[in-house]
Structure 1
């Protein structure tokens, strides 16, 4: 009985050891079959008939968007590419190798397609790293999953800033190949593994197409980004609107307070500071200017006009009281200023004015014979109650209404243009040409 137990135990251990050895040797045998027994060369495109093109299927997944700089017009993101192609020299029958259907090898051991990011702004280098492995299937299909950080150009259209939407496209190509190597996108979209929100932007759409143009094949991967405008509304847009409204309040401030000029200059300087802030957030592009930038400039221009008018009003206010006032200004004062006091009753005419008026009438009768018939005597009755401060108050009322309407119209127009869902003009020609020739 003891001998039977010993022999049984040895037999089981032998079987287990043999099974382990077979499993290990199966992978080694495939390695020897592919890379040692065959005359495999990873520098040459793996086809037995050279005229046969190598088809590379490409798909993409974005792991994270690191940064989008609309001033420098660049975007940085981390993505994982998935590339599949067939290697006619890396094939085996699984039944001859313990039914092993795939193995993992270093990417440096196999031939890989040369794919280049056309609009990259970083120094070009080969995708992947020595630690990245490829999967070789028994039917010759090779799967490669390089993870890369791409930094590429993205032309920003900031006309609707801060309510803008940007489209950033990566353009992949295979330089140096004609019809020998063909790349195509497997999916019509990009998988996004993140939350889709980063640094004030949200990813609202993705697209992936294959573009064939003039014998060249490109894969265009597009991310659609939408800006989160809350920060700019609270810190830029609303302060500018409030300052433009405050600018009109200079016409409410009386000249005798002595603060009229300093008030309007202070508001002007504040708007100039905001104009600098908005300009620093936008790219230096003369073709596509931000509507908000134009709005701040218009507000600043209106502030300059208001400052000039305010200085002129102060000069008019201090004119000599003996200087005559034209009948037009007298009528303007009568139309644009109130002749009532705070209680609502009409102001009483001073007794001295009646005495003076009667005295003037007597003088006119005495000297009536000396005045020529075709002469135009001065209408002293109309000018009796009108002074230069009254003229300034009339202009204050006129300018207050006029500039308030202008500010309201400009602000509503800007909001309507920026919030409009329609594009102001068509996108740039490069994107249109890619989209018009795109095919899956």
Structure 2
């Protein structure tokens, strides 16, 4: 079976039975001989041919290798099921002169050899004896189902892993200098996978594989990831003397999960007058030293809010990375879930 060129090849043999009034054999006159082998070219044969063959048409009845056309539907590739037919008809004998009758509705698969990419799920035959002056037709239908293991291991699993690697771009710090390089590598990998997939699909616009749409969506997301990475790097390297806009500061506070709260002034505990009159030697320990102020935690002035803190451009870049990571991961999860949901 070739989905790219839309044909399938099989090796088989047809068995036909008909009654010819000119061929009469009386075994009593020939010493009880009941069977006789005669060359086909020496007797009359019905003009039966394969109408969808891709090779030279010839009379059926002998064992041969048949190459037949088969229109494929690759929408669910590689989880698709194809139906290929052997269409048997006559050359010029209408239904008034020749009728097809099935003496067995099953196809014998005695010499069938399993294929690594396809499995035969069912085979059946049906006869269409049309109206008078029309040619009779016999259809032998092969229902072929794809074995998806090869494509799962070599195509789908690497695609999902590439999606995970693509999201790691936003976790890579700008200082590493490898953000754009990783984005470009993932993008080119998607393009290579799309090119490899096109070699397994027919050149047709009648059906479009869902897998092709899925990879195209991943390419679009990878392009957006590259654009977002360039934006983040540009913001990260803005000079410090350029002030960060107010809405950017609010965005940083939102992404870092800080709350706008007012720092209350510290309460001063009342002084015990007895401690003033104390002459103990350790009274000097209650006097704060300079080192205690240096080691202590700095508190903003009373009435200062978290929004009043001036955010840097580096913090803005990190906040954008976090936002783009969430958006990219959600988009990849949704597209992957839709693909596997449609191909179930």
Instruction: Please confirm whether the aligned pair reaches a TM-score higher than 0.5, indicating the same fold.
Output: yes
Number of the residue aligned with 1:180: 97
Which of 319, 330, 333 is the equivalent residue of 1:405?
A: 330
Number of the residue aligned with 2:243: 324
Q: Deviations over 1:124-176 (max 9, x none)?
A: 2344xxxxxxxxxxxxxxxxx51111101111111111111111101111021
Q: Deviations over 1:387-417 (max 9, x none)?
A: 1111111111111112111111111111111
Number of the residue aligned with 1:147: 63
Q: Which has the higher strand share?
A: 1
Q: Deviations over 1:217-265 (max 9, x none)?
A: 1110111111111111111111011101111111100111111111101
Number of the residue aligned with 1:228: 147
| Structure-2 change in CA distance of 1:87 and 1:381 (3 Å) | closer
Provide TM-score, normalisation by structure 1: 0.65
Question: Does the Cα contact within 8 Å between 2:13 and 2:63 map onto a contact in 1?
Answer: yes
Say whether 1:75 aligns with 2:8. yes
Give the Cα separation in 2 of the matches to 1:383 and 1:267. 40
Number of the residue aligned with 2:211: 292
C-alpha deviation, 1:315, in angstroms: 0.8
Pairs within 5 Å for 1:23-172 = 68-127=1-60, 145-172=61-88
Number of the residue aligned with 1:191: 108
| Structure-2 change in CA distance of 1:95 and 1:195 (3 Å) | closer
Give the Cα separation in 1 of the matches to 2:257 and 2:127. 73
| Structure-2 change in CA distance of 1:152 and 1:195 (3 Å) | closer
Say whether 1:237 aligns with 2:156. yes
* Structure 1 residues without counterparts, runs of 5 or longer: 1-67, 128-144, 341-347, 362-378, 420-440
Number of the residue aligned with 2:277: none
Give the Cα separation in 1 of the matches to 2:109 and 2:25. 36
C-alpha deviation, 1:286, in angstroms: 1.4
SS in 2 for 1:207: strand
**Structure 1 ranges of 4+ moved more than 6 A:** 348-351
Give the Cα separation in 1 of the matches to 2:326 and 2:306. 30
Number of the residue aligned with 1:249: 168
Deviates more, 1:181-190 or 1:401-410: 181-190
Question: Does the Cα contact within 8 Å between 1:168 and 1:223 map onto a contact in 2?
Answer: yes
Which of 287, 293, 309 is the equivalent residue of 1:384?
A: 309
In the comparison of the two structures, how many residue pairs are matched? 306
